Amino acid sequence: MGRIVQKYGGSSVADAESIKRVARRIARARGEGNDVIVVISAMGDTTDELMDLALQVSPFPKSRELDMLITTGERQSAALLAMALSDIGVDAVSYTGSQAGVITTPIHGNARIIDITPGRVEKALDEGKVAIVAGFQGVAQTTKDVTTLGRGASDTTAVALAAALGADHCEIYSDVDGIYTADPRIVKSARQIRMISYEDMMEMAAAGAKILHLRCVEYARRENVPVHVRSSFTDNPGTWVVSQEELKGTDMEEAIITGVAHDRGEAKITVVGVPDRVGNAAAIFQTIADADINIDMVVQNISDLSVEKTDISFTLPAEDGRKAITAIEHVKDKVGYETIRYDDQIGKVSVVGVGMRSHPGVTATFFSALADAGVNIQMISTSEIRISVIVGAQAIDDAVRAAHTAFGLDAESDATVYAGTGR
């Protein structure tokens, strides 16, 4: 008996049969006396198909119209789910993001939630109905236009609604059954994590774990919403993402390292032979920022003291590689660098854990393990609770396994469940 938000991803509602299956799961939660709010993604590949259609009509579709188009996907699955629930005797009503009061900034394709005014949802719950909300979308406060929150952001919708409606917790359903200490496809002995702090989960997400959207975890942390990540295909308990205080109150053994994440989606750009003048590094990073590209790690080496030139290397999403090179070429005359090197045969491997704050020597353990495994480190970056290295693409799996073993994360028996940490 309580109030819960459940979020189902596109793979959980891929066709009519899946929608009926999800409806039965929701009916069970409602039957246990809970207020249930459901946030839903578009069916299967609907969003991709609509994007294809848009590109057939226009090579550079306007983002406002793209948002009008693709938000229909979640609206369809929300309406279908409401029908399926009514069909099994559960009163339900569907809402668009706008109807549910998801108020956003006006940035089409990448809007941020600035307020939730869930009056209609509250009313539906008061009337004993299950409220179904189309995920991933909202309405811009200023323009009243339909916006999207960026791909995968239905998780954020769910957590934001959970906070606004004072839900006990938020359940995020997908086709994986939780967060693992490493990707089980790489590390056979990876273990499912039963509880993880928001901080660790944010670092894991930023380091490449794709299960939860980073913004969603940020939101959950800010609003202190417990998130339960689980599979819609089983009844197994998943992973709880909670505050550090909550975590400390349990009998969970505190590990130094919570998990090992990896990311194959980055590329490295090196600007070679940059004259060592004030403002040159700024000029390079300004042109990258102007191109709306987020960079990750940065390293600057003095390559040749005698000629006062440096090399500047940084990593970025590989999909932005071409755009970044074009941007840097634009400032070639101004900066006077020699050449640009591009390498997408790299990967990032990170160890994450709030435990490392109170345990010195984590860096040494990590680097020794990599050295013993014959893995060469190209770049390093650290935060208070994360150490990341860039390695060659061929060394990623070895690096993940070596770190997992070195920090004592290996389970006694093999994990048999598919999971997605660090995909």
* Tokens (6 digits) for 277: 């003048």
Cα end-to-end distance, the chain, whole Å: 36
Residues 12 to 31: which contact a copy of itself by CB under 8 A? 16, 19-20
Query: 347: phi > 0 → left, psi -120 to 50 → alpha, else beta; which?
Result: beta
CB of 161 to a copy of itself, least distance (A): 18
Residues 139 to 168: which contact a copy of itself by CB under 8 A? 144
CB of 121 to a copy of itself, least distance (A): 13
Q: Judged by CB, which is closer to a copy of itself: 69, or 297? A: 69
Specify the 3-state DSSP secondary structure of 36.
Answer: strand
Q: At what angle do helices 154-164 and 214-223 cross, to 10 degrees?
A: 10
Q: Are 150 and 294 in contact (CB under 8 A)?
A: no
Burial label, 384 (beta-carbon count in 10 A; 0-12, 13-18, 19+): exposed
User: By CB under 8 A, is residue 414 in contact with a copy of itself?
Assistant: no
Q: Which of 14, 51, 83, 299 binds a copy of itself (CB under 8 A)?
A: 83
User: By CB under 8 A, is residue 111 in contact with a copy of itself?
Assistant: no
Distances (CA, A) of 192 to 232, 239, 242, 258: 16, 7, 15, 11
Q: Which of 33, 59, 89, 360 binds a copy of itself (CB under 8 A)?
A: 59
Q: Judged by CB, which is closer to a copy of itself: 17, or 251? A: 17
Q: Which of 2, 32, 48, 62 binds a copy of itself (CB under 8 A)?
A: 62
Q: Are 301 and 313 in contact (CB under 8 A)?
A: yes
User: By CB under 8 A, is residue 306 in contact with a copy of itself?
Assistant: no
Q: Which of 11, 51, 72, 283 binds a copy of itself (CB under 8 A)?
A: 72
Residues 234 to 293: which contact a copy of itself by CB under 8 A? none
Q: Are 199 and 355 in contact (CB under 8 A)?
A: no
Q: Which of 24, 32, 48, 87 binds a copy of itself (CB under 8 A)?
A: 87
Q: Judged by CB, which is closer to a copy of itself: 56, or 413? A: 56
CB of 153 to a copy of itself, least distance (A): 19
Alpha-helical runs (H) found in 116-254:
119-126, 154-164, 198-206, 214-223, 244-248
Contacts with a copy of itself, residue ranges (CB under 8 A): 16, 19-20, 50, 53-54, 56-62, 64-66, 68-69, 72, 75-76, 78-80, 82-84, 86-87, 93-94, 96, 99, 120, 144
